[in-house]
Structure 1
Amino acid sequence: MILSPFEWTIAKRYMLPGKGERFIALVAGISLVAVMLGVAALVIVMSVMNGFRAELFDKIVGLNGHAIIQAYGGRLDDWQSVLKDVRATPGVTHASPLIEQPLMTTFNGRVEGILVRGNTREDLTRLNDKVKAGNFSELTEGSDNVAIGSQLAQNLGAQVGDTITVINPLGRSTPFGTVPRQIAYRVAAIFEIGIYDYDKAYVVMPMKDAQTLMLTGDTIGMIEVSTTNPDKVGEILAPLERKLKGRAIVTDWKTINASLFEALAVERVAMFVVLSIIVLVAVFNILSSLIMLVRAKTRDIAILRTMGATRRSLLKVFVTTGFCIGALGTVAGVLLGMVFLYFRQPIVHFVEIVTGQNLWDPSIRFLTELPSRPDPVEIAVICVMALIFSFLATLYPAFRAASTDPVQVLRYE
């Protein structure tokens, strides 16, 4: 819609009402602010939801791979041949043996439930960037060194260099019953994955040490697998699943974390719909301000008509006036949303100080920090939606202005 110089001059005049029209200007300003806040809320919430899903996916999959192959009964005896088949499967980029077992640990009288995880040397090096204290290079076979999660270290009160005791209920048999197996390990490193449930439970050690602790011999519990495309992991591993049928079960990340990611997807859609309604309500302010403007300018519109202005010109003038308010509000909303996302963590801390409430409890939210991942396509969709709403809100007042009869208005002038 291209405006002539005359139409653009009138539109700018109506976007900046005079001294006697301050109330209309106030309503138009409120409309702009309302659209800005609605768009900003959509950008912020959708970016945080995207960040939450992406961070969870990166951390969960980064630790456990895209799929797990687990033997029936929990022990994979011929794991070398299975591992060879897995690595030969097209689409598989990484596969490694893994031992994971829930046990208990004690330190200075404190007892915590843990997940002992036995990894290969290659997998241990992948956790180097998660280290908060100590060094993963000290986790060698037979060294009796382990790495523990940051939250577990906090719960136990343990630091690098301290010795914790890991208890395995499956110990040696005696005439008085089974004596639990207790082995002391030195804490060589403390790591933080960023997921509360992992950081409060994991104790990582070399695989040979884990096999010794759990008395499993040369067997493992599972094989973790990474593929070229996590969204198509089921298709990639389908031939392998058929080959291992009856011996082991293949479980991908979608199945393991199905309830969590489905809940996130539902919440994401629900939040988008609710916040879109807020934008729609904000756009109604544009409608009301334009209706007031048309009522206030009825005499001016009639004079413009007598001077030769066409209905089409008046229609374009009022559509442009309302649309510019919506467009400015949309741009301001995106900028406000980006600023909020950039300073999101300080803002959360400030609100916590003011309210005295813990807004981001890692034990509930899974992640230790508020995540964010803006999606340019999604932000573009939000902007287009706000602009369409703004355009539709201008049509009724614009048609009313264009249909003004100058004879009826100026009859008694």
Structure 2
Amino acid sequence: MFLTPFEWTIARRYILPGRSEAFIAMVAGISLAAVMLGVAALVIVMSVMNGFRAELMDKIVGLNGHAVIQAYGGRLDDWQGIVRTLQATPGVTRATPLLEQPLLATFNGRVEAIVARGNTQGDLARMAEKKVAGSFKDVQPGAGQVAIGSRLAENLGVQVGDTITIINPAGRSTPFGTVPREIGYRVAAIFEIGVYDYDNSFVVMPIADAQTLLLTGDSIGMIEVTTRDPDTVGQTLAPIKAQLNGRAVVTDWKTLNASLFQALAVERVAMFVVLSIIVLVAVFNILSSLIMLVRAKTRDIAILRTMGATRGSMIKIFVTIGSVIGAVGTGAGLGIGLIFLHFRQVVVHGVERLTGQNLWDPSIRFLTDLPSRVDPAEVAAICGMSLLLSFLATLYPAIKAASTDPVQVLRYE
């Protein structure tokens, strides 16, 4: 739909009305602001929800792999053969053994529940990029050194170089009963994964040290599996699952975190629907402002029709007016949304200082920072929806203006 210079001149004149139409201009301005706020809210909320899912998946799956294989008795004795089979399976990129056990740790009279985790040297090397203090190079088998989460270190009051005592209640049996096993470990490194539960409880050590602490001998607790495509992990491990039937259970990341990711998906859809209502209300404002404009300009429209303006010209003029309001509001909303997302952490801290409330408690939100990931396709869909609704809102007023009978209007002038 191309406008002639005449049609564009009239449309521009009506987009920027004079003082006599100040009320109409105010309503049009409110419509523009409503579209802007609706688009900005949608872009911000959907990007934050995308960020939540992406960050949780990166951090949780990055630490635990895409699937775990665990024996029914809690201990895998023939794990070497299973690892070799996994490494030869198409689609599997990594299969590593590990041990994991809830225990207790003490330091200077403080006691905290922990999760002792025994990793291979390869896994420890990959975790080195998450360190905030110390060095993972010192976490070697038999060295008696460990790495702990940042919040656990804070709760225990531990710094690099301090020695913590890890207590295993399932110790050795004696004539006087079971004696808990207590071993001191020097803290060689402090890491921060970015997921509260992990940073608040994990103590990582070489798998050989974990076997000594937990008295498991050469057996391990589970095998961590990473695949080429996380979304098809079920199909990739289907042959292994059938082979290990009755001996071990294969659990993928979707099952391990099903409730969390399902809740995020439901909340994401609900937020999109609710916030889309804001854009819909803004579109009704565009509709009402155009109806008011048509009513106010009925005499002008009649004169233009007598001068030779066609019905099609009238439709194009008023469609252009409403579409320009929607387009400017959409563009401004997109800009505001992207700026907000860029400075989101500054905004959160500013609101916290103003209200005195902790808006982002990692113990509740799982992540330490407000995440964000802009999906270009999703942003394009939001902008497209806003522009489409704005266009549809112009059709009735435009057709109403085009159907104006100049004879009836000018008869009483």
Aligned-pair CA distance for 1:229: 0.5
SS at match of 1:368: coil
Deviations 1:316-358 (A, max 9, x none): 1001000100001001110100000000000000001111111
1:376 corresponds to 2:376 = yes
Equivalence for 1:145: 145
Spell out the pairing of 1:186-205 with structure 2 (5 A cutoff): 186-205=186-205
How far apart in 2 are the matches of 1:139 and 1:128?
Answer: 10
Tell me which residue corresponds to 1:71. Answer: 71
Aligned match of 2:299 = 299
Q: Give the equivalent residue in structure 1 for 2:216.
A: 216
* 2:49 is aligned with 1:49: yes
Paired residue for 2:32?
32
Partner residue, 1:206 = 206
Aligned to 1:3: 3
CA distance in 2, matches of 1:266, 1:203: 34
List structure 1 segments (4+ residues) > 4 angstroms apart after TM superposition: none
Which residue pairs with 1:289 in the alignment? 289
Q: Which residue in the other structure is 1:396 paired with? A: 396
Q: How many residues get paired?
A: 413
**Which region of structure 1 is more displaced relative to structure 2, 34-43 or 21-30?**
21-30
Structure 1 stretches of 5 or more lacking a match? none
User: Which residue identity does 2:75 align to in structure 1?
Assistant: R
- The answer to whether structure 1 residue 258 and structure 2 residue 265 are counterparts is no
Q: Percent identity?
A: 75
Match of 1:183, SS state, is strand
- What secondary structure, in the 3-state scheme, does the structure 1 residue paired with 2:317 have? helix
Q: Distance in 2 between matches of 1:283 and 1:144?
A: 66
Counterpart of 2:291 in 1: which secondary structure? helix
Structure 2 stretches of 5 or more lacking a match?
A: none
Map 1:120-159 to 2 at 5 A: 120-159=120-159
Q: CA deviation at 1:383?
A: 0.5
Cα distance in 2 between the residues matched to 1:277 and 1:87: 51
Question: In structure 2, what is the Cα distance between the partners aligned to 1:214 and 1:233?
Answer: 30
Between the aligned partners of 2:170 and 2:271, the Cα distance in structure 1 is: 48
Taking the aligned partners of 1:178 and 1:247, their CA distance within structure 2 comes to 29
Q: Shift of the alpha carbon at 1:19?
A: 1.6
CA distance in 2, matches of 1:318, 1:23: 18
Distance (whole Å) between structure 1 residues aligned to residue 17 and residue 180 of structure 2 = 84
SS at match of 2:226: strand
Partner secondary structure for residue 127 of structure 1: helix
Kindly state the Cα deviation for residue 23 of structure 1 after the two structures are TM-superposed: 1.2
Alignment of 1:100-179 (within 5 A): 100-179=100-179
Shift of 1:236: 0.3
CA drift of 1:407 comes to 1.1
Q: Secondary structure in 1 aligned to 2:237?
A: helix
Secondary structure in structure 2 of the residue aligned to 1:126:
helix
Query: Residue by residue, what CA displacement relative to the aligned partner does 1:213-262 show, whole Å, maximum 9, x if unpaired?
Result: 00000000000000010000000000111111111111000000000000
TM-score of the superposition, structure 2-length normalised? Answer: 0.99
Name the aligned partner's letter for residue 389 of structure 2.
Answer: F
1:131 offset after TM fit, Å?
A: 0.3
Q: Per the alignment, in what secondary structure is the counterpart of residue 47 of structure 1?
A: helix
CA distance in 2, matches of 1:162, 1:362: 26
TM-superposed CA distance for 1:109, in Å, is 1.0
Query: What is the alpha-carbon root mean square deviation over aligned residues?
Result: 0.6
Distance 1:347 1:329 in 2: 23
- Name 2:13's counterpart in structure 1: 13
Instruction: Return the alpha-carbon distance in structure 2 between the equivalents of residues 213 and 373 of structure 1.
Output: 41
Letter in 1 for 2:392: L
Deviation at 1:3, TM superposition (A): 1.0
TM-score (norm 1): 0.99
Cα deviation 1:41-64 (Å, max 9, x = unaligned): 000000000000000000011101
Q: Aligned-pair distance for 1:175? A: 2.3
Mapped partners of 2:69, 2:13: distance in 1: 70
Amino acid at match of 1:286: I
The one-letter code matched in structure 2 to 1:57 is M
Query: How far did residue 110 of structure 1 move?
Result: 1.0
- Deviation of 1:174 after TM superposition, in Å, equals 2.0
Q: Which residue identity lines up with residue 234 of structure 2 in the other structure?
A: G
Partner Cα separation in structure 2 for residue 149 and residue 178 of structure 1: 30
The aligned residue for residue 82 of structure 1 is 82
Moved more, 202-211 or 402-411: 402-411
